[in-house]
Amino acid sequence: MQKEEKIVVVLLLMALGSLAVAFWTFSLDLGETSASSDSVAQKDSALSLEGLVLQIEPTKSGGNLLLKLDSTPMTVFVPASAGAIELQKQLHVGDRIRIRGTVSDFQGQEELKISRAIDVQRLGT
């Protein structure tokens, strides 16, 4: 092989290595959540999400809880019957959580409804 051919081979290997590292890095980020803000969830379908808690807000009546996560535009609704009061005491803004629920519609807006307190797992802060 000529010197120029060796240089071309080395440069090609470096480019392929960079692409492989980029693919590996970005594919790990995509695998962390089951849904993204771009995905369209079907009504009454089960959905799992993971994200940081941005807001924790009790409802004005009924003892329910509303959560906002950084990973979805949907509001997470925790009814009182699913342990909203317990979760309000356990969760803090900035906590990373994993949740499972059912997509439902409330006043024209999609929300993720939690049916049991164990469907909300605190992963850390």
Q: State pLDDT tens for residues 31-79.
A: 444 444 444 556 677 888 899 999 999 998 888 999 999 988 999 999 9
Q: Where are the domains of the chain?
A: 1-31, 46-124
User: Would you tell me which CATH number, out of the four given (1.10.1040.10, 2.30.30.230, 3.30.450.20, 2.40.50.140), belongs to the domain 46-124?
Assistant: 2.40.50.140
- Give Cα 3 to chain centroid, integer Å: 50
pTM of the model: 0.64
Closest CA to 69 of 106, 32, 44: 32
Per-residue pLDDT of 84-100, as tens digits, reads 888 888 899 999 999 99
pLDDT at 42: 67
